[in-house]
Amino acid sequence: MESLTLPKLSQAHGEVTIPGSKSLSNRILLLAAISRGTTVIDNLLDSDDVQHMLQALTQLGVRYELNAERTQCRVVGLDGPLARGQSETIFLGNAGTAMRPLAAALCFGSGEFILTGEERMFERPIGDLIEAMQALGANVDYQQSAGFPPLKISAQPLTAAPVAIEGSISSQFLTAILMAAPLLKQPLTISVTGELVSKPYIDITLDVMQRFGVTVVNNDYQSFVIDGLQSYQSPGKILVEGDASSASYFLAAGAIGGGPVRVHGVGTASVQGDIRFAEVLEQMGATVLRSENWIEVAHQGPLKAIDLDLNHIPDAAMTIAVAALFAEGTTVIRNIYNWRVKETDRIAAMTTELRKLGAIVEEGRDYLSITPPQRVTPAAIDTYKDHRMAMCFSLAAFATDGIVINDPGCTAKTFPDYFERFNKITS
């Protein structure tokens, strides 16, 4: 396995433009594919997760062209559901934003599909979404374990019935059914059971649907109503914002390594909830400046520990867990149970790796408490095929030399050239 040894860092300073958002790229690609008209997508993310969605669209007969950099894509919409004459096996890696939305959208139309992926995908739940689709009449079978991919979907006409979906494991289930709902061509009411997690991702979904001409009534995240007369229309051109979760590593570097670090591509105009990561850095004592499309962070000296519910920013919250090494006191990150069903069990992985660095870590079912050591111990960090483990532990190099990141290439899921860009703003 490859590994990357980082030099001891003492300073972060400069400007970086962040690649496009994974969450927006995959939502926009899917809606462009089923909408009426041609959509030109700018600043598309070029990474493994988006590649899986693009490959799926190719197999489903969607016509699109990418520019040489693979950041502009012209998609010819089908004006209706994805369909295929023959049986199709579609490999989606470990991309939740491809697996969940496609599992819902492919129940419409016609054809037989096997949705599969990496081994870890077979451990990531999808039962709550499939139950809701089955209530609409969908024909879905589990190929291995009940409640998990791989799935076999036999598309058939569905009928709108009021449907309930469990919200406490992943917001992607609700996102998936919301995005597919206009294919029903009948009014649909979706009610949410349990406490909906990761709510800001639903705002991203509703925003993208709106750009494609479909309005959803949001009754305080308890229920959602989609009028049956709406259908997706291409907006013509659409720009993907920079990825706010990817921005978190650079913003945190500004808070730990002096700064200022200015990140372009996200700002007050962003629809992504993860821009609220900057508020957490402010509470830790950092100075944050914002404009519509950039955020800048600077700070000298140690940070302050925080004790916060970070359910609304589950991805960027991982960056706080490593920033806690640079804070005075004990940092507690709460209400993050679903870290356990993402790329790896992130609560367990974070605990193991922070302990290697000498931190005192308490691992709860749904929280982490982190007390930094007097002196961080150099260590080789295992990344568990989790891009965010690799990216957030790069920050540990501000504490000591001898930080080794095992399998740094795993950042390809959302940020293939992360380490090159991180190098440019750190010394």
Ligand X SMILES: O=C(O)C1=C[C@@H](OP(=O)(O)O)[C@@H](O)[C@H](O)C1
Cβ atoms of residues 260 and 296 within 8 Å? yes
Stretch that binds ligand X, among 166-174, 236-244, 277-285, 320-328 (CB under 6 A): 166-174
Rounded-to-integer distance, Cα 248 and Cα 245, Å: 5
Q: How far is the CB of 391 from ligand PEP (least distance, A)?
A: 10
**Annotated catalytic, 315?**
yes
Question: Is the bond leading into 81 cis (omega within 30 degrees of zero)?
Answer: no
Give yes or no for residue 200 binding ligand PEP (CB under 6 A): no
Cβ atoms of residues 20 and 272 within 8 Å? no
Phi, psi at residue 253, to the nearest 5°? -60, -40
Letters for 179-208 (x = contact with ligand X by CB under 6 A, - = none) are: ------------------xx--x-------
Q: How far is the CB of 49 from ligand PEP (least distance, A)?
A: 6
Give yes or no for residue 19 binding ligand X (CB under 6 A): no
Stretch that binds ligand X, among 50-58, 114-122, 168-176, 223-231 (CB under 6 A): 168-176
Q: How does 369-388 read in b/e, with b if 16+ C-beta sit within 10 Å? A: bbbbeeebebbebbbbbbbb
Q: HEC profile for 151-208?
A: EEEECCCCCCCCEEEECCCCHHHHHHHHHHHHHHCCCEEEEEECCCCCCHHHHHHHHH
Question: 95 or 158, CB closer to ligand PEP?
Answer: 95
Question: 109 or 200, CB closer to ligand X?
Answer: 200
Q: How far is the CB of 186 from ligand PEP (least distance, A)?
A: 29
Cβ atoms of residues 369 and 332 within 8 Å? yes
Give yes or no for residue 414 binding ligand PEP (CB under 6 A): yes
Stretch that binds ligand PEP, among 51-59, 90-98, 137-145, 195-203 (CB under 6 A): 90-98
Please list, in sequence order, all residues whose beta carbon lies within 8 angstroms of the beta carbon of residue 390, skipping any fewer than 6 positions away. Answer: 381, 383, 405, 407, 408, 410, 411, 418
Question: 172 or 383, CB closer to ligand X?
Answer: 172
Count of CB atoms situated within 10 Å of the CB of 89: 12
Q: How far is the CB of 312 from ligand X (least distance, A)?
A: 10
Crossing angle for the helix pair 171-180 and 22-34, to the nearest 10 degrees: 20
Q: How far is CA 47 from the centre of its chain?
A: 12
From the candidates 49, 128, 274, 315, give the one annotated as an active-site residue.
Answer: 315
- Pick from 171, 234, 319, 406 the residue near ligand X by CB under 6 A: 171
Token pair recorded at residue 388: 């965010």
- Pick from 32, 53, 82, 95 the residue near ligand PEP by CB under 6 A: 95
- Pick from 265, 342, 347, 406 the residue near ligand PEP by CB under 6 A: 342
Cβ atoms of residues 53 and 73 within 8 Å? no
Rounded-to-integer distance, Cα 132 and Cα 308, Å: 32
Letters for 79-118 (x = contact with ligand X by CB under 6 A, - = none) are: -----------------xx---------------------
Q: How far is the CB of 196 from ligand X (least distance, A)?
A: 9
Hey, CA dihedral for 279, 96, 383, 367, is it positive or negative?
Answer: positive
Give yes or no for residue 388 binding ligand PEP (CB under 6 A): yes
Q: Which of ligand X, ligand PEP, none does residue 331 bind to, with CB < 5 to 8 Å depending on kind?
A: none
Rounded-to-integer distance, Cα 382 and Cα 240, Å: 31
Question: Does 342 count as an annotated binding residue?
Answer: yes
Q: Could you list the active site residues?
A: 315
Residues that bind ligand PEP (CB under 6 A): 94-97, 315, 342-343, 388, 414
Residues that bind ligand X (CB under 6 A): 23, 96-97, 170-172, 175, 197-198, 201, 314-315, 338
